[in-house]
Amino acid sequence: MSDFHPAADVKRKALENVRDVQLYINGEFVNAESQEIFANINPFTNEKINNVASGGKEDIQKAAAAARRAFKGEWGKMKQSERLAFVYKIADLIDEHVEELAPLEAYDTGLPLRITKKMVSRASQNFRFYAEMVSSRMVGDAYKVDNEFLNYTIHKPVGVAGLITPWNAPFMLETWKIAPALATGNTVILKPAEWSPLTANKLAEIIDLAGLPDGVFNVVQGFGETAGASLVAHEDVQLISFTGETTTGSEIMKNGADALKRFSMELGGKSPIIVFDDADLDRALDACTWGIFSFNGERCTANSRLYLHEDIAEAFIEKLKERVDHIKVGDPLDESTQVGPLIHMKHCENVKNYLKIAEEEGCDVYQGIVPDEYSNTNFVPPTLLLNADNTMRAVQEEIFGPVLAVMTFREEEEVIELANDVRYGLAGYVWTKDIQRGHRVSQAVDAGMLWINSQNVRDLRTPFGGAKYSGIGREGGYYAFEFYTETQVVHVALGDHHIPQFGKK
Ligand code: NAD
């Protein structure tokens, strides 16, 4: 395997000395109280990269106490402008470390370097964007009530924010939550996914360099059932922003119910892409191929269900096959790689199992090529499930790999029904030159985010989130203020209004 891509090999050698990862609590890198560790595995080789401290209840308690102290103390009392200066500083420091971060993320997750480069460069934007949003858009309303009252609203930070993130775009998703949480004045405990600890640890080092007061930002690495569950149950953690699987989200909501946690839930997806016969088929093909096979298919908003109008289906499928045949599968650190290995052996088995199920259900499984030397590792070739239909498990359930179910339709009403006939509702994509139909169909799809004649291009100002089993609430833009702040109303009497005089003689 090692002499196949010399440049990638050089990069991997440089990464081989990644140090063991500790927890970051109250401004210090520390071992877990239990001294427990777990092995972090390289998705490309299935060999151990390093050891990671395995946080548990005691570590969460320490982090929560530190975060609460910081919230009640220096951070909570700091002027907004000073607080935002720290947020800008984090952004600058991320930019300074981008060259290091992108290969580290590719090494840890199996995502191709060409993807992680884009993702990590967006991370500093997340911090700058929220610093700007807070100073320009975190505004209250004023209500004059006749000439008797003035009522006004303010946004106050909630307290200690627990952020729980998945492995599929770790650095981007972590910063997407940390930036609004800190900019609005909360303190943070981050629980990164156990399969992708490295860039979260690098972020702790970067934030440490930024010199935030101790306890404002904490990272407790570890497993969901231990570190994650303790964070959810802790009564001093007021809110949980979670991104991950739908079943985990519902488990977390149950576990946080006693402490009346505030939740933001960004969950799974099974998003449709609908291509009408009048669409720009070349562009639709580009978008469809990118939308399912980029990020190794491990993408929440992936267009994993393709609905093709019958009149163009045959020709479109032929071109799709051609693309699948030529997608470059390989070493994530090789800049030319388009699809890398899946994150973990277990996840790879799950995805392969879905392919078996799809075959049993009657699909024709059409696959691209994985070079022979990778055949025993975590690779799943780009895959088309042809002759699929909505009743199949492979169409209803989130596979979270490079697998596209392909179906056909005849009528607009029919395809809307098919698009909505899953429990998920995260995203959707509509391709047509008929602009009225584009709007009509998009608005009829039960999903949080739709794109017309477009690939998944995100503007940070717009709301991000899903409908149905894909989530609760919206983050992004000023929508995040709803979640990360408490809206308080202050009622001020302007004169001597009438007050009933109970009990007066
Ligand atoms: P996951 O649900 O297995 O894990 C996510 C995080 O939750 C991890 O940090 C994990 O340790 C933690 N966790 C697990 N059990 C927990 C518990 N009982 N209490 C507290 N924390 C717990 O998800 P994953 O496999 O890491 O990520 C893939 C999933 O994430 C997919 O379903 C994907 O669609 C979804 N996702 C959604 C979005 C979105 O914005 N909607 C974005 C990215 C990924």
246 C-alpha to ligand 1 centroid (Å)? 8
268 C-alpha to ligand 1 centroid (Å)? 9
Q: Where are the alpha helices (DSSP H) in 369-434?
A: 393-396, 412-420
Ligand 1 atom closest to residue 251's alpha carbon, by position in its atom list: 18
Tokens of 83: 């607080």
Mutate to test the pocket of ligand 1, among 189, 248, 270 (most ligand atoms within 8 A of CB): 248
Cβ burial of 289 (10 Å; 0-12, 13-18, 19+) is buried
Could you tell me which residues come within 8 angstroms of residue 106 by beta carbon, excluding any fewer than 6 positions away? 112, 113, 115, 116, 332, 333, 340
C-beta separation of 66 from 218 below 8 A:
yes
Give the architecture-level CATH label for domain 272-452: 3-Layer(aba) Sandwich (3.40)
For 156, the enclosing helix (H) or strand (E) is strand 149-157
* Three-class SS state of 473: coil
243 C-alpha to ligand 1 centroid (Å)? 5
CATH 3.40.920.10 fits 7-267+470-489, yes or no: no
Digits of tens for pLDDT over the chain (505 positions)? 444 566 777 777 778 779 999 999 999 999 999 999 999 999 999 999 999 999 999 999 999 999 999 999 999 999 999 999 999 999 999 999 999 999 999 999 999 999 999 999 899 999 999 999 999 999 999 999 999 999 999 999 999 999 999 999 999 999 999 999 999 999 999 999 999 999 999 999 999 999 999 999 999 999 999 999 999 999 999 999 999 999 999 999 999 999 999 999 999 999 999 999 999 999 999 999 999 999 999 999 999 999 999 999 999 999 999 999 999 999 999 999 999 999 999 999 999 999 999 999 999 999 999 999 998 889 999 999 999 999 999 999 999 999 999 999 999 999 999 999 999 999 999 999 999 999 999 999 999 999 999 999 999 999 999 999 999 999 999 999 999 999 999 999 999 999 999 999 9
Ligand 1 atom closest to residue 426's alpha carbon, by position in its atom list: 41
| Residues framing ligand 1 (Cβ under 6 A) | 164-168, 173, 191, 193-194, 223-225, 228-229, 232, 243-245, 248, 251-252, 266-269, 300, 398, 400, 426, 466, 470-471
Could you tell me which residues come within 8 angstroms of residue 459 by beta carbon, excluding any fewer than 6 positions away? none
For 51, the enclosing helix (H) or strand (E) is strand 48-53
235 C-alpha to ligand 1 centroid (Å)? 22
pTM higher than 0.95, yes or no? yes
Write the single-letter amino acid at 43.
P
User: Would you name the residues annotated as active-site residues?
Assistant: 266, 300
Tokens of 55: 């946080």
CA-CA distance, 321 to 55, in Å (whole number)?
46
Taking every pair of Cα atoms in the chain, the longest distance, rounded to a whole number of angstroms, is 97
* Three-class SS state of 5: coil
Nearest CA to ligand 1 atom 12: 224
Structural domain spans, the chain: 7-267+470-489, 272-452
